[in-house]
Amino acid sequence: MNRDITDQEFEQARKNSDYIKIIRSISKKYIRFGMDHDNADQCGLLGLWYALKYWDEDYKIKCKFTTYLYQVVTHQFMQKCRYTQRNKPLDTLLEHHTANEHSDDNTIAAIDWFDFIKILPPKNKNIIIQRIFCGLTFKEIGKLNGYSKQAAQTNYVKAIKTIKALYQINENRNNML
């Protein structure tokens, strides 16, 4: 359904605490990997606007509005990452992440993974960044890098195996100390 959204309707939705929680939970993931706060706010609000505009009351049987909102906002963030990735050097994602200080255990584990990603060959590093952080499909990755979808997928699997092996070696070394 394509309907017009009034300013009052949008402001009311923007102040809804459930919608805010959904948008913030999604934006935290993308901010952690290099998206600035302004772009995250823009993606969240644009996603909310699209969800309000295209939500069809007949879909209530299939899913709640909050589920639909989550999907639309996530799609907006992925679209922004795809656009940004095509216009930004890939290494800046890694540099931004390691420059930020975080205190929770999940982020510390993520930083360990970033250390392993940094030492991969450029071809593999690009595929990991494009697939995991930018949300590109293997077909898009292949097209951007000049090879087939299957080659992109094969290189991605090899890169993941390399990261896992490096992580395991590091864990074994730490356990011996």
Q: Are 131 and 141 in contact (CB under 8 A)?
A: yes
- Segment 77-128, tens digit of pLDDT: 877 776 665 554 444 444 544 444 444 444 334 445 667 777 888 888 888 8
Do 56 and 116 lie in a common domain? Answer: no
Would residue 2 count as lying in a domain?
Answer: no
E strands, the chain, in order:
none
Mean pLDDT score, 25-37: 80
Q: Which of 59, 86, 113 lies at the terminal end of a domain, its last residue?
A: 86
pLDDT band at 20 (very low <50, low <70, confident <90, very high): very high
Do 168 and 95 lie in a common domain? Answer: yes
Do 132 and 156 lie in a common domain? Answer: yes
Write out the residue range of the structural domain in which residue 13 sits. Answer: 7-86
What are the tokens at 114? 């970033």
Do 45 and 21 lie in a common domain? Answer: yes
Alpha carbons 152 and 149: distance in angstroms, whole number: 5
Tell me how many domains the chain contains: 2
Do 82 and 14 lie in a common domain? Answer: yes
pTM of the model: 0.50
pLDDT value at residue 97: 45
Do 97 and 136 lie in a common domain? Answer: yes
- Segment 41-50, tens digit of pLDDT: 888 999 999 8
